[in-house]
Structure 1
């Protein structure tokens, strides 16, 4: 089996085309971002940002005066995100190469500050990212530590579809296997455990699960 890091290094230039973004996964991204109370001038953290597929949707809410902090461990995926930002003229995006499961929070904060960002974000989201991390709980902890108290946290991830249509579950499992995600991880449960005012959404026959809540500090 190809290690996840090597897989994303190899497929980074083609990721957007291969990710089933439009027919399947964009729906979860949009629902997650819509669930956040993002405002013009706000700062939002995108954990496991990959090639920046969330950026356009986030910018619609925070505008040109807001800031997006994108964190990913893959230099190759970040290179694609940087090209996208340059092509679109998005100057308010800070990209940081870091592993959310192992990189010290203090070091990430220093990197954010060195590029003009605030230490803690108003909101944070992880879309189809935590299920790739081992242990995903460490990635969640980093996500919380980089978000201000009372700010919002959103997890968008995958599970077995609830639909009984033939082949639906097999296709979902195949997509997760190819991407290196653990379809049984269910990382959104952390939002249910550690946040208040939790909202629940789903899409694509239950395959996509979205949870959003307020950082309670617990």
Structure 2
């Protein structure tokens, strides 16, 4: 998901939730992400909502999974991301089966009980009330429909060539800061959300919960994109003043990634790893024809209120 007002940029001025950053991040983990979507075993011909689609990076993978008879609706709150997604889709083989909508996750421009699967990648970390949001999304799913949530968990991140004590202090300081940063005027964020997703889906009322983990490892030598990605992540850990971290640890941490003479990326023993989570659950709801008709009426009214992407662009 992209944000209209990113709050943090790395030292190159690249906001970590901006379109350019999302595109680079996607390239860095393309192989793993392709495997994630294959493992979902989405049904051919399905209607899939990409909730928090950002610039549409997952759309071709989803389109390939559901085939030419399937349909994808990408939803996001960022106009910039949606415009980028439409441009990316233009002229592609999957263009006829994709459309993009400007809307929040809690107000999808669809009738309740009509969607086969809702896919949401790297969005849950920004949800202050994930259980409430997941429960709301469930109402849009057809009986037996699935919510699929993919996200990070920086509790699994390791740089094997950096002092473990230093890493622990940096990560613990960031985790503590994320618990209180909203009180200081920053948007909500939980970068340790991955391992919590299964519990959130259960609490929201989903059944048949499935959790899959994907170990991502990179060794020396690193591709330039991945080097830039990890530098951005490293600096993000100590952004916003790095409260709770000593100045000595702050300096030592940044030297590991930006020092010209001693840089962990240039060591032949360099090894980085993290685990990403993909969790799915089946929505048990049942809908009558009367409820479906009522939802169509609500949808028609909400469609009149929602700005279309074309209106926003004009």
The alignment partner of 1:189 has SS state of helix
Q: Measure, in 2, the Cα distance between the counterparts of 1:188 and 1:126.
A: 14
Q: Does 1:202 align with 2:213?
A: yes
The answer to whether structure 1 residue 7 and structure 2 residue 17 are counterparts is no
- The answer as to whether partners of 1:32 and 1:212 remain within 8 angstroms in 2 is no
* 1:162 partnered with 2:146: no
Contact 2:122 2:150 in 1 (8 A): yes
* Contact map agreement 2:198 2:211 (CA 8 A) in 1: no
Indicate conservation of the 8 Å contact 2:127/2:188, yes or no.
no
Match of 2:280 among 191, 212, 215: 212
Q: In 2, distance between residues paired with 1:65 and 1:123? A: 15
User: With structure 2 as the length reference, what TM-score do the two structures score?
Assistant: 0.54
- Matched residue SS, 2:156: coil
Say which of 49, 58, 65 aligns to 2:62.
Answer: 58
Residue 268 of structure 2 corresponds to which residue in structure 1?
Answer: none
The secondary structure found in structure 1 opposite 2:44 is: coil
Q: How far did residue 67 of structure 1 move? A: 0.2
Matched-pair contact (CA < 8 Å) for 1:157–1:188: no
State the superposition RMSD in angstroms.
3.4
Q: How far is 1:34 from its partner?
A: 2.8
| Structure number having the greater strand percentage | 1
Count of residues paired in the alignment: 198
CA distance in 2 between partners of 1:145 and 1:130 (Å): 18
Which residue does the alignment assign to 2:99? Answer: 94
Shift of 1:217: 3.1
Please point out which of 21, 46, 49 is paired with 2:50: 46
Displacement after TM superposition at 1:206 (Å): 5.2
Q: Where in structure 2 are there 5+ consecutive unaligned residues?
A: 8-14, 179-186, 217-272, 287-314
| Change beyond 3 A, Cα 1:68–1:17 | closer
Q: Which has the larger radius of gyration?
A: 2
Q: Which residue does the alignment assign to 2:125? A: 131
State the Cα distance separating 1:98 from its structure 2 match. 0.7
Tell me the alpha carbon deviations over residues 150-182 of structure 1, each in whole angstroms, 9 at most, x when there is no partner. 1122111111243653558869x79x9xx9842
Q: Which residue of 2 aligns with 1:183?
A: 191
Relative distance call for 1:147 and 1:32 in structure 2 (3 A) is farther
Instruction: Give unpaired runs (5+ residues) of structure 1.
Output: 111-117
Q: CA deviation digits over 1:103-136, x for unaligned, max 9?
A: 3x5xx226xxxxxxx9611111111112123333
